[in-house]
Structure 1
Amino acid sequence: MAGTPTQAEMPRQFPKIAQKEEDEHVRIIAEKVFASALREEDTKDALSLFDVAADCPIGKKEATERELQKEIAEQQSDTTAKRKKSLRLIRSHSLSLQIPTCDGTVSLISPSLSPQTPIQNVPFLGIQRPYDVPEFQRVTITGDYCSGITVEDYEHAAKGLIKALFIREKYMRLAYQIFPRTTGQYLRSIENERWREEDEVLPDFHPTPRDGEDPYDLSDAPGNLEYVARMRDGIIFVYDNKEMLELGEPRSLPYPDLQTFTLDLSHVLALIADGPTKTYCHRRLNFLGSKFYLHEMLNEMAELRELKGVPHRDFYNVRKGRQTFHRFDKFNAKYNPVGASELRDLYLKTDNYMQGEYFARIIKEVSHELEESKYQHMEPRLSIYGGSPSEWASLARWFIKHQVYSPNIRWVIQVPRIYDIFRTKKILPSFGKMLENIFMPLFEATINPKENRELHLFLKYVTGFDSVDDESKHSAHMFSIKSPTPGEWTREQNPPYSYYLYYMYANIMVLNNLRKERGLSTFQFRPHCGEAGSITHLVSAFLTADNISHGLNLKKSPVLQYLYYLAQVPIAMSPLSNNSLFLEYSKNPLREFLHKGLKVSLSTDDPMQFHYTKEALMEEYAIAAQVWKLSTCDQCEIARNSVLQSGLSHKEKQHFLGANYLKDGPEGNDIRKTNVAQIRMAFRYETLRNELSFLVDAVKSTEINMPLD
């Protein structure tokens, strides 16, 4: 394999879902949410279905009155009393497994329960391991269920959130994308199973060539598998040979069928507008922010002492990943030197009359500076537009001819959402042809690398795909099972955001599984998402994306924000770019997201446009630290997150973060390399486990209280 730990064989077929009667109800709710999101784009100040009235006195008074009436009704219910008793027993069991001992390890001793106690059948998670961490002050809230809402609403919200996490886990596993260990362990406990490390699925990135190895060596291309690839309904299928193609029997490579995806999408869309779930998530997020404030107040000096004890390490010499985005939307005019687009083509293109020579010089200069600084890595974007299948061969030739490889650079391919421009100019007959131009050369290079040596070599240093354009351009079309197939999409209007994401993700999934069979590197899907436009973009990304860029609109939906926290979805944020385009710096939610525990990192966006120095990434960190008073530990935590979500290989991450970086919590942190305090890592780990245990306890309580047949 290309450089990750050995993993067990994964399921080969994407599990399909048959539509049920209740799913039709969910679909209707999802359509209402989609319509609400469109209205919210047009009337920015309107309160949407997925938001919470946090500062409306009348709304707060009415909501409080409703909650009071529910509480009074609960007190008079015998059924509720029994459910509360079950929850109390379950919570006592969960807390006993989480309470740290005086030496900083986690207790493994279960409470003494009577034989009649129903909690005895709840399986031990198998995840509480002792870890070494300095003593610090912990904030713990005890009680029946600690959610501030009724038992019925609590259980209802927990079921919906758990279902959404199961949905994301399914999509991540089958595409070789990352799903957090801790969350996966709690999901296995619901299924009465133990989480096993050998079942974990990870992306596979090509390691950097060793000293003395030629990064442009074309001689190691594997042979021809003689497979046949054909696009059908927007997804490329792979056949063993022409006979199997004629029989219509493709290889067993997983892909998400359209009905399953749209049904899963509808479930999450309906969830973000569900009243009890919104209330629960809103309160939990407020609690997370307050809990971090208390942690910081109680332990700031302890964290600082811990960092001071690490010799020869500070924020400046920890590894920092940097994504460099380049726009191809309405802001492109700002890139034109002295207003001439021809100069942009001359300086910033790979396929001009100079064969991209000037652009290669710029890349080499930046690469040299990165290698000199040692502690920064970059993931610049290169564009594939889908106008012609020859774009890939041209890009690979540029890479090899100008020798732009650097150990400090990994490449991400961005696909601008500009089908409407191609169609208007009659360059493409349909959206399906655009998809074929983007993905068919990759399948051909994977099936027969010897005939596609240059592209095979270039793909070693490509780690993912991005979907880019101005998100504020909205489409009134809701992606559903009734949507035209890509081959049928011949209109001049652009398909909606979720349509782009589904077909890109589906083809990346099939491609990754084919490449994994060959022992080749895989790709992550890392779209621009949530910078502007509809909140529904973030729902589509929750299903399909390994990580996202920007994510500003998460602040509009407490349910989505909480789900992104529970699933630890990485978010690369660029507040300086946002400040110029969409959101004032002081209103950027990065600091709020960081405090709550979302997996955020800082990144540059269009450094030639928005930054004033050659050290664009350090500019982002310096301004964020000054404006938001970020501590050294905060900055190093953000830097560690950036390396985790990057396309660096397994060996490189082990070198930069520590040998056990795949483990969650303090056990996976090497403070000598990351400069992140073990106290901070323990706080994040224990807090996430606490939030997940609330959901698992509610689901277990529901099972216990189900009436017997």
Structure 2
Amino acid sequence: MTATFENNRRPSLLLDAEDEPTGARKFRSPSGTVGHSLDNTDMVALTTSFDKQISEGHPMFFEQSETFAGVRSLGAPGVSHQWTNFYSEGKAGFEFMQNLRVKYIQESAQDAQSNMKNDTIDWFLYPKPLPKFWKFESDKRLYDGAQSANGEDMQGYFYTRTNDDNFQKQDRVQLHYTGQFFKLSHYAKELTKFYTERGLPMAMATDYPAVVANVPPITQFGQHFEKCLDLVTSEQMDSQAVKRTEYLLHRYELFQQLQGRSEVRESRLVPHRDFYNIRKVDQNYLLSGCLSQRQLNDFIWEKLNLEPNRIVYLDANGKQFTLRQIFCQGSDDSSIGLKAVDDLFLDWYRTVYLSGDHLTRTDIWQQNPKYLAIARTFLEFDNVIDGEYFAEMVVKYVIQSFEKSKYQVAQLSVDFQFGDSWWTKFSDWVTRWKLVSYNIRWNIRLNRCFSKLYAANRVQNFQDYLDHIFRPLLELEGSQNVKLQFVLSTVCCFDLVVSETDDYVWKSFLEPQRTSPADWSGCGDNPPVAYYMFYIYQYLKVLNEKRKSRGRNTIALRNYCPINASRVSQFRKKLSITEQFESLICNFLLCEGGLLQAEPLWRVSPTILYLYYLFQIPVVVSPLSSVSLLLEHGHSEAGRVPIKDRDVTTPSTRTYTGNPFMSMHQMGLKVLLSSSSVLLNCSYTMEPIIEEYSVAASIYLLTSADMCELVRDSVLTSGYEGFYKAHWNGVRLNKTDFFNERIGLTDTWYDQELDTCYKHNVPNARRLYRRNCLEREWQFISG
């Protein structure tokens, strides 16, 4: 069947069809005769109330004028009193949790309005943005001036061992990227000038002992925690949340059936903009695994060829090792083998080194000296060579790759090491090796390793744990450290890592509600997740207040949802909930940056899942990552298997499609895809972020609208500056008369102009659908 189309692009988000602007800003539809199947593009839209109800996802007996219309729309006859009870109790509960979340987020200055970097006028953006149409291959600064091909240049081209006496380090191939032009002295000069003109202090002393003394006890937060727990564990709330979740999933299917082809057609009308040339932000790109196994092997072989006799490692006894001595088991070079880094090393690196066991195990030096040497030499920045190899790999395989692609950006997450002067060492490493780029920002990961640090005699109580993190940031010396201040200006989030490797068994059974950080020592018991979250939140609150008063950026808080569903929370007595539940409530109350490792959210609690949807809290998932949770059971009744019928002897059949991220996306959550740890993912391409999206698109047959919506959300909820969000997505915080979106219930982003789809290519139909669904759910809650 064929049809001749007129220029009938879908009306904008604000205007009706008759008011739709025409002219240069209106994209032209393809002309001519196009073949189509019998679907929505061939149908004439009817204007009856029945057709309107169906297109909006309403049941046909729904009447807008009825009392409690949103409640009765999904109810069965004869049970209206139950819906009335749900309405009266649910409305008060949701309002309480809404006010509580806004209170905690705004008091800690985590909201977007409190963050100075979202001010496109008064924020000191350094380095200055690149030209609009900049491309890596067109920037003449990034190429060597003279590239001759004479015989001398080709001498030793195929050599396997550097033995030329004339070889010099400067003869190596230089890595070119925009950060190579970064100069700390120029940054310090421009920063001083900027703050002097505005009358802001460059440094400010903070009485750290007074900060410690003024931290409130955890008692009130515990009461808020328990109140929220009572609300979200209500059986009636859970029952209705399941129905609302299923309703949203079915409504999305109906929307795709009715308007799916229109979305595709609308996307094609936007010229020169598709998934590949839209910015996509990986918000949890782990620095400890930012390169693949092949890249790490290639780099090691390159260094073994160039400088095999360089001293790169000191063991626990102070013995020096050259690069060749680390890998060669004998005198013959062939003993290195084809793979310097094998799967056994990766398994040890994940289970022993990254988990922190090397802090307390004294036998690790004797059992795996080679593995420890590799990790310390190539995957750490605090070592004999000042992190030179690690920095070179980050530039070569991460920064340079991102800049060449232009449209891939990431927030690199670095693990905080509880050693002496970690902040100073990290900022020195970043500025010395110029790990500066328009395409990267930083997150700081805080592990729940108090018990391991206590066993290693690095801390005496939990207050020491907090002092390691926040004392250098709050004292005057840190305020005067230009390197540290530059790094902090690029830090987006503090992430609390909740892992199955965290110590769990207690010996002294302290009462978290009555024990201050200075008194939390006992036998080195690991505090509960909520205990970590509350005190990190309190010190981050002080830090953000200080930075906000000086015109600096503030930092958001995030945490992981643990995979292990069998651990019972130890935060409050007589509460039979898991650590997963505890982590989700803490994230809901205290974190503006979103939820990491969010796959368990789909099964822990229907009510919490529904709350995350209503409040549009960002959730980060990693379907391809080996550390992500692949779920086999969902919230839908059809997908649930009664516990009594489950065969525990049957091995788990986990697959990619078992990951719930697609259901989250269809429901309307702000889902963000992340590559997480590329080193542990067995990534097969040079672009892991693109690989993450392409696998999802291939398996779920995602449309252009789906892909563009995912990447747009990754920018909108990221920690990037307001200038870049305006440039990439066309949004800002200043109120306009155009379309707006609320993120986390605390941040409202407004479109800068009437139609911004030429920046992100998310069809207006999709954005209208998401807004209408969310508004309808809030109408359901509020009556």
TM-score (norm 1): 0.69
Indicate which of 587, 612, 616 corresponds to 1:541: 587
What one-letter code is carried by the residue in structure 1 that aligns with 2:424? Answer: A
Q: Which position in structure 2 is the counterpart of 1:91?
A: none
**Correspondence 1:571 to 2:619:** yes
TM-fit CA distance, 1:474: 7.0
Q: How far has the Cα of 1:524 moved from its partner?
A: 0.9
- Aligned twin of 1:609: 680
Instruction: Answer whether contact 2:285 2:674 (CA < 8 A) is retained.
Output: yes
Aligned runs of 1:69-80 on 2, under 5 Å?
Answer: none
1:405-554 → structure 2 map (5 Å cutoff) = 405-444=436-475, 449-450=479-480, 452-471=481-500, 473=502, 475=504, 482-490=513-521, 491-533=523-565, 534=579, 535-546=581-592, 547-554=594-601
- In the alignment, which residue of structure 1 is the partner of 2:188? 218
Q: Is residue 560 of structure 1 aligned with residue 608 of structure 2?
A: yes
Q: Given that residues 327 and 469 in structure 1 are in contact (C-alpha distance below 8 angstroms), is that contact kept between their aligned partners in structure 2?
A: no
Q: In 1, Cα distance between the equivalents of 2:277 and 2:733?
A: 18
Q: Given that residues 326 and 605 in structure 1 are in contact (C-alpha distance below 8 angstroms), is that contact kept between their aligned partners in structure 2? A: no
Would the alpha carbon gap of residues 676 and 151 (structure 1) be closer, same or farther in structure 2, given more than 3 Å must change? same
Separation in 1, partners of 2:628, 2:455: 30
Whole-angstrom CA distance in 1 between matches of 2:16 and 2:479 = 58
2:750 is the alignment partner of 1:664: no
Separation in structure 2 between the aligned mates of residue 353 and residue 544 of structure 1, nearest angstrom: 39
Between the aligned residues of both structures, percent identity stands at 28
- Do the aligned residues in 2 keep the contact of 1:324 with 1:606 (CA within 8 Å)? yes
Does 2:771 correspond to 1:685? yes
Q: Could you tell me which amino acid in structure 1 is paired with residue 205 of structure 2?
A: Y
Is the CA contact 1:156–1:276 (under 8 Å) kept in the aligned structure 2?
A: no
Which blocks of at least 5 consecutive residues in structure 2 are unaligned?
1-12, 21-53, 64-68, 76-81, 119-123, 131-180, 196-200, 290-347, 359-367, 566-578, 632-653, 742-748
Residues 221-253 of structure 1, C-alpha deviations (whole Å, 9 max, x = no match): 565666332247xxx35xxxxxxxxxx8x7xxx
Structure 2 CA distance, aligned partners of 1:613 and 1:580?
19
Contact 2:621 2:672 in 1 (8 A): yes
Q: Cα offset for 1:344?
A: 0.9
**3-state secondary structure, aligned to 1:210:** coil
Shift of the 545–480 alpha-carbon distance from structure 1 to 2, 3 Å rule, reads farther
Q: Secondary structure at the match of 1:463?
A: strand
Shift of 1:609: 1.4
Of the structure 1 ranges 436-445 and 301-310, higher mean CA displacement relative to structure 2 is found in 436-445
- 2:272 aligned with 1:272: no
Work out the CA distance in 1 between the residues paired with 2:183 and 2:718: 20
Kept in 2: contact 1:656–1:673 (CA 8 A): yes
For each residue in 1:153-199, what CA deviation from the matched residue of structure 2 results, as whole angstroms up to 9, or x when unmatched? Answer: 232122212211221111122222348xxxxxxxxxxxxxxxxxxxx
Amino acid at match of 1:539: I
The 5-angstrom pairing of residues 584-603 of structure 1 reads: 584=654, 585-603=656-674
Distance 1:689 1:178, change over 3 A: farther
User: Matched residue of 1:377: which SS?
Assistant: strand
1:692 is matched by which residue type in structure 2? Answer: W
Secondary structure of 1:527's counterpart equals strand
How far is 1:208 from its partner?
4.0
Moved more, 256-265 or 303-312: 256-265
Q: Within 1, Cα distance between the matches of 2:440 and 2:257?
A: 39
Question: 1:695 maps to what in 2?
Answer: 781
What's the offset of the Cα at 1:105?
9.3
Equivalent AA in structure 1 for residue 56 of structure 2: R
CA distance in 1, matches of 2:740, 2:501: 36
Q: Which has the larger radius of gyration?
A: 2
1:331 paired to 2:350: yes
Q: 1:155 to 1:480 in 2, by over 3 A?
A: farther
Give secondary structure in 2 for the equivalent of 1:316.
Answer: helix
In structure 2, the partner of 1:653 is 725
| Corresponding residue to 2:94 among 158, 161, 167 | 161
Asked if the contact 1:378–1:410 (Cα under 8 Å) also holds between the matched residues in 2, the reply is: yes
Cα distance in 2 for partners of 1:332, 1:218 equals: 41
Listed one character per residue, the Cα deviations across residues 326-380 of structure 1 (whole Å, up to 9, x for unaligned) are 5799834488999612101111111111110011101111211111101010111
Q: Distance in 1 between matches of 2:537 and 2:781?
A: 29
The answer to whether residue 58 in structure 2 is matched with residue 140 in structure 1 is yes
Contact 2:451–2:503 (CA<8 Å) still a contact in 1?
Answer: no
* Alpha-carbon distance in 2 for matches of 1:349, 1:578: 22
Describe the SS at the equivalent of 1:519: coil
Q: Structure 2 CA distance, aligned partners of 1:286 and 1:538?
A: 21
In structure 1, what is the equivalent of residue 744 of structure 2? none
Q: Secondary structure of the residue that 1:321 maps to in structure 2?
A: strand
Which of 206, 210, 228 is equivalent to 2:206? Answer: 228
The superposition leaves residues 536-591 of structure 1 with CA deviations (integer Å, 9 ceiling, x where unpaired) of 21111111112121211211211100111111110111011157765532211101
Per-residue deviation, 1:596? 0.7
SS in 1 for 2:518: coil
Q: Distance in 2 between matches of 1:624 and 1:648?
A: 25
Q: Deviations over 1:595-625 (max 9, x none)?
A: 1111001011110110222111111111111
Give the distance between the partners of 2:249 and 2:555, measured in 1 at CA: 34
For residues 356 and 101 of structure 1, do their structure 2 counterparts lie closer, same or farther at Cα, with a shift above 3 Å needed?
closer
Question: Contact 1:321/1:376 (CA < 8 Å) preserved in 2?
Answer: yes
> Which segment drifts farther, 213-222 or 508-517?
213-222
CA distance in 1, matches of 2:18, 2:662: 28
How far apart, CA to CA, are the structure 1 residues paired with 2:472 and 2:702? 45
5+ residue gaps in structure 1?
Answer: 1-98, 107-135, 180-199, 238-247, 698-709
C-alpha spacing 1:606/1:268, structure 2 compared with 1 (3 Å): same
* Secondary structure of 2:251 counterpart: helix
Equivalent position of 1:80 in the other structure = none
Q: What's the offset of the Cα at 1:137?
A: 4.1
Partner deviation per Cα, 1:10-50 (whole Å, 9 max, x = no partner): xxxxxxxxxxxxxxxxxxxxxxxxxxxxxxxxxxxxxxxxx
Q: Is the CA contact 1:226–1:448 (under 8 Å) kept in the aligned structure 2?
A: no
* Counterpart position of 2:395: 364
Partner SS state of residue 609, structure 1? coil
Change (3 A) 1:378 1:338: farther
CA distance 1:376–1:256, change in 2 (3 Å): farther
Tell me, yes or no, if the aligned pair for 2:203 and 2:479 is still in contact at 8 Å. Answer: no
Per the normalisation by structure 2, the TM-score is 0.63
3-state SS in 1 of match to 2:281:
strand
Q: Tell which deviates more after alignment, 390-399 or 336-345.
A: 336-345
How many residues align? The count is 529
Q: Could you tell me how far apart the structure 1 residues matched to 2:496 and 2:430 are?
A: 21
Provide the alpha-carbon RMSD of the alignment.
3.1
Q: Which moved more, 1:326-335 or 1:618-627?
A: 326-335
Contact 1:384 1:415 in 2 (8 A): yes
- Using the alignment, how far apart are the partners of 1:676 and 1:317 within structure 2? 13
CA separation of 1:408 and 1:560: change in aligned 2, threshold 3 A: same
- The residue aligned with 1:194 is none
| Superimposed CA distance per residue, residues 480-529 of structure 1 (whole angstroms, 9 cap, x where no aligned partner) | 76242111111312111111111111111111111101101111112222
